[in-house]
Homo-oligomer: A and B are copies of this chain.
Amino acid sequence: MREKFKKLNELLLEMQKIESISSLLHWDQETYMPENGGEIRSKEISYLSSLKHQKQVSNEFQNELRKFVNIDNGKILSNEINDNDKRFLDRVWKDFHYENSLPQKFVEDLSELTSQSQMKWIKAKERNDFSLFEPYLKKMVDMKKKEADHYGYSTNRYDALLEQFEPGITTEKLDDLFNGLRSRLIKLIEKIKNSSVKIKRVKGKFDEDSQWELGMKIIKDMGFDLKSGRQDKSAHPFTISFHPSDVRLTTRVHEDNFLSSLFASIHEAGHGIYEQGLLKENFGSPFGQAASFGIHESQSRLWENQIGRSKDFWKKYLPILKDHFPQFDSMDLDEYFKTINVVKPSLIRIEADEVTYSLHIMLRYEIEKMLINEGLAVKDLPKIWNEKMKEYFDIIPDSDANGILQDVHWSMGAFGYFPSYALGNFYAAQFFQKASEEIADFDKKIQKGELLPLKKWLNENVHKYGRKYLPDELIQKVVGSSMSVEPFMEYLESKYGEIYKL
């Protein structure tokens, strides 16, 4: 980084260290922390966030930033600045602006509400009683509206929330993308429903050590570097990065449900390979951070679905799988390929297949817009949820626990997050299409279990830039056109057309 940004970089590096430390506290909390460790741990985590916030809005930081940027509106001051520097300063200012736009009191209140609200959500879900959660969610919606107002937006309040997860995306663009998708998806699902193809399911007990071993082998083959990361077990799989040389994955291993554990490992390793692919020398700079939640999800989805649920991939790995689990001995590649790609409308987002998944996201997106922009009352949420489930999936949830209460996000105040899951699917298909064109003998390589060329292509084309490009800029740079649902729909229609003989 350039000499003139030396001081600024030092201050950014300090904040990044605090974040990195805080990530270790989170990781340990979900993996090894003993039961009683939580009370003080959560105080330590909030101490670190408040320390980070203080550094971010400190006079020292503001004075330094002011040398290059009008800190009120983000306008870059100097003319002697190149495109790289402009992008750098823009990202630095945006992070500052976000933290600085929120009054200290508001940040503290929100942090307290988040902590209470999560506990209430857990209870409400356990007891299947939305009313326990309702008053907290109502406060949360009110605060998120205020947050959007503090942060600012041009035409649409929900845009201010989207911006935190997917810079540059707007409600207008999402409406366009989703409108193009909805009817095609519903049509595809309808056809699949009417298909006469019957798919065998695999059941039984799967030895936990063998599951672990196979998962480790596959993530190593993908190029996840175990000298710069590790995999552990946790209740819910996640990836957390301290820096590119220390990236932690977790998975769950259940005797009864082998496939869910394996695909979780592949999914998380996709996230992990992205984090390991950020440039070490950019640690502390925005260029050393992932481009967006959607781009992140594209990496995990691409490995999980385009690779992990492809016939090519299992050409190599099915025999290895059979070595570990004789349950699969009687299955040929075609049958196995089908069994990992069953499409069936269902209640729960995280268990949804590739085809129905995006509908779960659209449902949440529509509800979020109604809450943030259109004054939908929180008390009416269970009713709206169930109506939309009926409309999209022709299913009415058996309970609020399996309906409106299923996801943690709203209890954490993460409004605007869900769309990035769908965007991840779209981007994944776009990247995958391009990668398979540019990598010589791509299909054959995957069939032989040669996964590293794909990993390197992603390193070179996606990972190394970090946040330098906005998501849509990055897509354009990589694939030559803007974000689009077309490659995703083509991928689904072709793959499921084959499976279900449509």
A-side interface residues toward B, CB under 8 Å? 14, 17, 20-21, 24-25, 28, 32-37, 39-41, 43-44, 47-48, 225-230, 232, 242-243, 245-246, 283
Contacts and interface: CB of A to CB of B under 8 A. Distances in A.
Given A37-B242, A37-B245, A245-B40, A17 B47 contact: yes
Contact of A44 (B20, B39, B44): B20
6 contacts: A17-B44, A21-B44, A34-B245, A35-B227, A40-B243, A41-B242
Contacts of A25: 21, 24
Contacts of A35: 227-228
Contacts of A40: 17, 20, 242-243, 245-246, 283
A478 B35 CA distance: 33
Given A24-B24, A24-B25, A245 B36 contact: yes
Nearest to A41: B246
B21 A226 contact: no
Contacts of A243: 37, 40
Contact of A246 (B34, B47, B48, B228): B34
A226 B246 CA distance: 28
B20 A232 contact: no
Given A34-B245, A40-B243, A40-B245, 20 more contacts: A14-B47, A17-B40, A20-B40, A21-B44, A24-B24, A24-B25, A32-B230, A32-B232, A34-B227, A34-B228, A35-B227, A35-B228, A36-B225, A36-B227, A36-B245, A37-B228, A40-B242, A40-B246, A40-B283, A41-B242
A34 B230 contact: yes
Nearest to A27: B28
A20 B243 CA distance: 21
Smallest CB-CB A-B distances: 5 pairs: A37-B246, A36-B245, A36-B228, A35-B227, A40-B243
